[in-house]
Structure 1
Amino acid sequence: MMLRLRHDLSTFTNIGIVTFALLNGAMASGAEPTVPVFKDGEAQIVKAFEDPDYWIRHDLWVQTEFDSDGDDKLDRMHVSVTRPRQTESEGLKLPVVYVSSPYFAGTGAKGQEFFWDTRHELGATPPQREHFPPPERKGLRPIISKSHVKEWVPRGYIVVHSSSPGTGLSQGCPTVGGDNESLAPKAVVDWLCGRAHGFTTPDGDEKVVAFWCTGKVGMTGTSYNGTIPLAAATTGVKGLEAIIPVAPNTSYYHYYRSNGLIRHPFGFLGEDIDYLYDFIHSGNETRRDHCDCEVRDKEMLQSLDRETGDYNEFWAGRDYLNDLEPLNAAVLMAHAFNDWNVVPEHSVRIYEALKAKGVPTQAFFHQGGHGGPPPMKMMNRWFTRYLHGIENDVENDPRAWIVREQNERDKPTPYAEYPNPAASPVKFYLSAGAPERGKLATVAAADQGTETLVDNFSFSGASLAQAEWTNHRLIYLTPKFSKPIHLSGTPRITIRVAANKPAANLSIWLVSLPWTENKKTKITDNIITRGWADPQNHLSITEGEPLVPGQFYELSFDLQPDDQVINKGQQIGLMILSSDRDFTLRPTPGTELTVDLDATSITLPIVGGDDAFAKALLQSKEDH
């Protein structure tokens, strides 16, 4: 026992005396063993688990099944553990809440000077970007991170953290979605369940055993930290019973591209996957040159393709939708409909696939921006059911929980499913109006002809939506609503378009007018959703072709999923533009896009369908 404790009780200075006192005190008092407590299907805070001064903290290295840094040795991941003292003094076994991240040990430089240059013509080879110095590692052993411990340890869980490959004190190379980023957390789960080896040092052979784990593991995290739970679950590893991914990046193509178009996450114009590699590569100094050469320079830079934006094998290998077959963990997805960093399709596409697969699923959506976990009650019920095995009937709860406009995030509204089962597609047609505002109606008007816009990235989408007269966008509005309209699902546009050049950006905004904006924060609720596509990829996202100037091409593609109530007195507007200055490349202004109005339409998922839309129009049918 003392050999085991020597490496586990790093919190204490005199391990033998402390352990003896704990054991002797428990026996002398005749006290009942401390165990988790449950009420109304939720794990409760237990006073004996609550004091962090009595938590045991220790770290170790778990051996994986891969060698990603080419040193002919299996990579080991740095892992830290935080657990109640009763797992030592009373032999208590508990389930684990596990969080893994590439960010725990620090990240690299931020700044536009390290991004790719976006100010060039479409299809041109951009100048190479500058690589910034390696991140300086932060953090002291044995603690990798303190996240989640206050929420879960007092409720009867052990919290485990690990640094992902090539970050912090973990060995290997970061691959930003490569196979080792799935197999690394798998190895940690295997170790927690007694199937893999843990060691006291990164290179030694003295083993550490997770004797305190029940063999039930749950994972959670936000953004990249939310991607890793999904990555681990796609391995089908036994013992990973449930995951709660929050705003996960489920496909790096969908993060950096859109329907063949080079598109950047909001706020990070010019970022690409090779920048993210540099940003997280905080570890493994002795193998850094090897990783940079083999992963970043030979694989990423040779395959990311900033010229065409086409989907290829490189991107397919970093798309978790392609890897879902082995997944059997219960999945509670969480995302925001106004997340323009990791856009909401990332979670919706996985959620839809998991529903079809038949694994237990729930979805939590809110109206804010990037991040935002479900309320503790939801997460508690999820982990209580699948990690502690308490039959709380969570699998029969409503499948979708959506925070309605103006409500607090911890007060979501339950729905039978997402999209709302009462939603049905309503098709809208365009009537001419450029350079002012045209009309959007459910009945097609004949012989509308064509209308043309002139690309100019200098104008923001917000300013174009508000403009009464401009040739830099086309916009088409419904009448004002006399009743609220509830959208739930994924809008889809079909557009017939021609350009006067061999390449052009195509951006679509769905907005509500009149425009309102918080003067202090500049935050608006008027952007309903958006979408982007490359007309060169009208036939396939895997292979584009140069446009013949003046020739019309038909494209059909989805906008981002949404669930939103449009208020009485508002109008829905379909806005068509070329370059979207916050997301796309910025070619020299002047490219013309011509839209065939008679062959263009948009389908909106409206709760109540055509009847609900008809009832929402003003009785006066006032001209807009």
Structure 2
Amino acid sequence: MTSHLDLTLVSTTMNRLSLPVFVLLLFASSPLRGDDITIPVIKDGEAQIIKELEDSDYWIRHDLWVETEFDLDGDGKLDRMHVSVTRPTQTDTQSLKLPVVYNSSPYFAGTTGGDDTYFWDARQELGDEPPKRSAAPEIDREGLRPIISKRHIKDWLPRGFVVVHSSAPGTGLSQGCPTVGDDPEALAPKAVIDWLCGRGKGFTEPFGGEPVEAYWSSGKVGMTGTSYNGTIPLAAATTGVEGLEVIIPVAPNTSYYHYYRSNGLVRHPGGYLGEDIDILYDFIHSGGTEETKAYCDCHVRDEQMMANQDRATGDYNDFWYTRDYLNRVDGVKAAVLMAHAFNDWNVVPEHSIRIYEALRKNGVQTQLFMHQGGHGGPPPISMMNRWFTHYLFGEDNGVENDKKSWIVREGDERTNPTGYPDYPHPWAKEVVVYPVAGAPQRGGLQLSPVEEPSEETLVDNFSFSGEALAQAEFTEHRLVYTTPKLSEAVHLSGTPRIKLRMACDRPAANLSVWLVSLPWNTNKHSKITDNIITRGWADPQNIDSMRESKPLVPGQFYDVEFDLQPDDQVIAKGQQIGLMIFSSDRDYTLHPTPGTELTIDLQQTQLSLPVVGGTMQFAPEN
């Protein structure tokens, strides 16, 4: 009997065979058929694991190339995407048609790894052109045919789904160029879905080859993935492609401007100081010949990305507009289960919240799963199963009537979320608090504005991290204002908003705001709420327009107003809620020469908090 490993080797070495011959070879060498297995088995509204399908001897694996409608690499031929399929043998022995769980990624073939020497230098004066960066290292392509990835197979194939993977344009064995958020990243998965639904063209080879049909597909497709792999399902859904019934994006990047900028400010994703969209392009560009890579580098990275990303001002423009899926969300027809974390400082939580709110407004069947951890973290497998079983197998399990919002509460396991009617919590009301002077130590936060004019000044210095500034008892490099100790726990649910009046002694400045819980918890094993409640960043030069910066007049006061990141968090009894205002955020913003002075007019500054229960719940400890 031929082993699974033997079959993989056959598929690698005999890739010039047409798919029908390849499949016949598989069955000629293996007596396992499983004709007596029933697929699917559904119980309590969920597709159940079929024990036999946990055994890879009951799987068929093959790969192919799906033709798209674009030619990115300039070779005069429509680009083809590399696709791999893993399906139960019953799709042939019983002529069974099954729905598909589909995952697409630019990462499957490898990336530049952990080398960040080619990132932009954050040590840059605001408004200046950035120092030239180094060239990216070459990517050693990973993976052998026909297996692009093994992700999601163990979860979904034993439950009776076909699992399909594809490499994004310009990565792995997929043709074209990476465009990082532009049209082709939506049109590539659309082409694969069209093929899965009998409308597209598949071939055994990247050029020429024999036709391949997805005769085993029921024509119903669901997509899921995390981070960039979660962005692609949303991108595909915005095309309105028929057959894409449901998507479960986890921590998706829904706007590259919101990923690399904040309110006109150059801001880097957490953990990736100096990254920008051209860096991400280099990070994933694992596909193509030397000739096509050079073409893509010139026409996509250099002429489009580096020419338009604007690291000098951070302003919004048409380049960024085309890479914001909120501008395309009207095309979404598929049901959507959004998943994200409130403490994700890589892809910040607004990415999912903004899309969730827009989809709900458009009447799309949508639910939201949020947890208190960091980047990634899918919904419980049971929740995902209910969604896939309902929308792909057509099981009437009532998932559309479930709670609209699922929040993992502090200290709870991610598999045990609490259901709410919606997000934000319907009982959340705006509570406005006002700062009281106290610099260079800590001032107060109270429910009424200060009566007398009051100004306080901070001095920018990127040398100090935000965490260090929040914990400092005495420093000129930030302003902190805290409530008295809370007599009862306070549940925040929604998007805090800061409004302040400020002046600067220079034409440009970073502006950073953190909302923190104090005293600081230094016990890493404690289940106390994370001290960083939420954050926000803005460029005061963009108060009139995100598309055009205007230099500040030194000494002149400006009104600056912007949202912090959305949150749903319970601040424990006995803690204090603190508002911290500072300039350069060491781990996120550019690093201008220290010394810029920001003056805050406290009488014209306020913080709006979304408090469940409103002001009555926001009482100081006696």
Q: Compute the TM-score of the two structures, normalised by the length of structure 2.
A: 0.95
The partner residue of 1:134 within 126, 130, 138 is: 138
Amino acid at match of 2:257: Y
After superposition, the Cα gap between the structure-2 partners of 1:446 and 1:484, relative to the gap in structure 1 and judged at 3 Å, is same
**What's the counterpart of residue 333 of structure 1?**
338
- 1:44-92 CA-to-partner distances (Å, cap 9, x unmatched) read 0112322112200000000001111111110000000000010011111
Aligned ranges for residues 517-528 of structure 1 at < 5 Å?
A: 517-518=522-523, 525-528=530-533
Check conservation: 2:460, 2:477, Cα contact below 8 A: yes
Check conservation: 2:389, 2:395, Cα contact below 8 A: yes
**Partner Cα separation in structure 2 for residue 5 and residue 502 of structure 1:** 66
Structure 2 residue 51 is the aligned partner of structure 1 residue 47: yes
Q: In the TM superposition, what is the alpha-carbon distance from 1:522 to its structure 2 partner?
A: 13
**What's the counterpart of residue 502 of structure 1?**
507
- 1:509-558 CA-to-partner distances (Å, cap 9, x unmatched) read 00010101235899981000000000000111111100000001111100
Q: Secondary structure at the match of 2:273?
A: coil
**What's the counterpart of residue 381 of structure 2?**
376
After superposition, the Cα gap between the structure-2 partners of 1:36 and 1:485, relative to the gap in structure 1 and judged at 3 Å, is same
**Partner Cα separation in structure 1 for residue 28 and residue 416 of structure 2:** 48
Aligned ranges for residues 9-48 of structure 1 at < 5 Å?
A: 13=25, 15-16=27-28, 18=30, 26=35, 31=36, 34-48=38-52
The partner residue of 1:248 within 230, 238, 252 is: 252
Aligned ranges for residues 59-458 of structure 1 at < 5 Å?
A: 59-285=63-289, 286-458=291-463
**What's the counterpart of residue 602 of structure 2?**
597
Amino acid at match of 2:497: R
Unaligned runs of 5+ in 2: 1-15
Aligned ranges for residues 451-530 of structure 1 at < 5 Å?
A: 451-518=456-523, 525-530=530-535
**What's the counterpart of residue 558 of structure 2?**
553
Check conservation: 1:106, 1:137, Cα contact below 8 A: yes
- 1:360-418 CA-to-partner distances (Å, cap 9, x unmatched) read 00110000000000000110001111111101000100011111111111111111111
**What's the counterpart of residue 19 of structure 2?**
7
Check conservation: 1:109, 1:133, Cα contact below 8 A: no
**Partner Cα separation in structure 2 for residue 521 and residue 608 of structure 1:** 27
- Mean Cα deviation higher: 454-463 or 512-521: 512-521
- 1:478-529 CA-to-partner distances (Å, cap 9, x unmatched) read 1101110000000001111110000000000000101012358999810000
Q: Secondary structure at the match of 1:160?
A: strand
Q: In the TM superposition, what is the alpha-carbon distance from 1:448 to its structure 2 partner?
A: 3.8
Q: Secondary structure at the match of 1:598?
A: strand
Q: Secondary structure at the match of 1:167?
A: coil
- 1:218-272 CA-to-partner distances (Å, cap 9, x unmatched) read 0000000000000000000000000000000000000000000000011110000
- 1:119-146 CA-to-partner distances (Å, cap 9, x unmatched) read 1211111112112133111100000000
Amino acid at match of 1:535: P
Matched-pair identity in %: 68
Q: Secondary structure at the match of 2:410?
A: coil
Amino acid at match of 2:130: P
Amino acid at match of 1:195: R
Check conservation: 2:529, 2:570, Cα contact below 8 A: no
After superposition, the Cα gap between the structure-2 partners of 1:100 and 1:9, relative to the gap in structure 1 and judged at 3 Å, is farther
**Partner Cα separation in structure 2 for residue 597 and residue 11 of structure 1:** 73
After superposition, the Cα gap between the structure-2 partners of 1:582 and 1:523, relative to the gap in structure 1 and judged at 3 Å, is farther
Q: Secondary structure at the match of 1:114?
A: coil
**Partner Cα separation in structure 2 for residue 9 and residue 413 of structure 1:** 51
- 1:556-579 CA-to-partner distances (Å, cap 9, x unmatched) read 100000000000100000000000
Q: How many residues align?
A: 607
**Partner Cα separation in structure 1 for residue 364 and residue 497 of structure 2:** 27
Check conservation: 2:186, 2:235, Cα contact below 8 A: yes
Check conservation: 2:95, 2:216, Cα contact below 8 A: yes
- 1:292-318 CA-to-partner distances (Å, cap 9, x unmatched) read 000001000100000000000000010
Check conservation: 1:175, 1:181, Cα contact below 8 A: yes
**Partner Cα separation in structure 1 for residue 104 and residue 421 of structure 2:** 32
Amino acid at match of 1:474: L
**Partner Cα separation in structure 1 for residue 159 and residue 278 of structure 2:** 40
After superposition, the Cα gap between the structure-2 partners of 1:402 and 1:200, relative to the gap in structure 1 and judged at 3 Å, is same
Check conservation: 2:411, 2:527, Cα contact below 8 A: no
- Mean Cα deviation higher: 296-305 or 9-18: 9-18
Amino acid at match of 1:330: A
Amino acid at match of 2:265: L
Check conservation: 1:8, 1:58, Cα contact below 8 A: no
- Mean Cα deviation higher: 105-114 or 37-46: 105-114
Q: Secondary structure at the match of 1:381?
A: helix
Check conservation: 2:68, 2:187, Cα contact below 8 A: yes
Q: In the TM superposition, what is the alpha-carbon distance from 1:5 to its structure 2 partner?
A: 10
Check conservation: 1:510, 1:527, Cα contact below 8 A: yes
- Mean Cα deviation higher: 524-533 or 591-600: 524-533
